[in-house]
A and B are shown apart, each in its own frame.
Chain A
């Protein structure tokens, strides 16, 4: 068997994974719009923002993942931790997510049963 030459890629600088977080109010719900990719590098930003919202008194929070193109277990871990904090404080946390590849991370880990997940913010709020 002849092997073709190996192709090696080495990067000294990589584009930083970006995450944009904006929050707004819809009735008595706080909506956190998440745009970008959620992984080990950006998950701490998501956690910090949710904890800040909790500290500011948010009792009902929808995390809107419609703008998220990628999320791994680092993001899931943040959402589970924040859900726990929210429940301990007597609040609610719901997820808006229509993206199948993001939903898959919830379903294959069985954590879809822990969250209220709806395709849109409106449906998450009405649940």
Chain B
């Protein structure tokens, strides 16, 4: 049995958010996921990547087949925000996380070794 792993690494710039969304949508389509779920996924990925960007971090997304789901994980350094970056972040990390959770209830946040990992599961039919 094998499973797929897809990694995306982008520079720390908001202009790349569209590429991160396209990447996530392409992974979803790879697993024949379509329609509204893909739109939800694009929102969740965008929110998670903004967390990384406001911490001044490159965008790192890992999509991995896990059983009957695809796990999407976005990594950011813990507490790395500068004042300037916080100013960019009007809505705040907790609200963004709630938005991700409302779209994908199986969302977790893990902090270890100075980095924060937001992970959520896209169920496969």
Contact = CB atoms under 8 A, between A and B. Distances in A.
Interface of A: 1-4, 6-12, 14-17, 37, 39-41, 43, 70, 72-74, 76-78, 81, 100-101, 104-105, 108-109
Contact of A70 (B14, B21, B91, B102): B21
Given A9-B9, A10-B9, A11-B10, A17 B15 contact: yes
Contacts of A109: 95, 98-99, 102
Contact of B90 (A14, A39, A74): A74
Interface stretch (B39-47, B75-83, B106-114, B115-123): B39-47
Contacts of A70: 21, 39, 42-43, 46
A17 B99 CA distance: 22
A121 B24 CA distance: 32
A14 B1 contact: no
B68 interface: no
8 contacts: A3-B2, A3-B5, A4-B3, A73-B95, A73-B99, A74-B90, A100-B36, A101-B39
Interface residues of B, number: 38
A101 B39 CA distance: 6
Given A77-B91, A109-B102, 4 more contacts: A4-B4, A16-B15, A100-B39, A104-B40
A44 B54 CA distance: 15
Contacts of B124: none
A1 B1 contact: yes
B7 A7 contact: yes
Nearest 3 A-B pairs (CB), nearest first?
Answer: A41-B14, A101-B39, A77-B90
A40 B95 contact: no
B102 A108 contact: yes
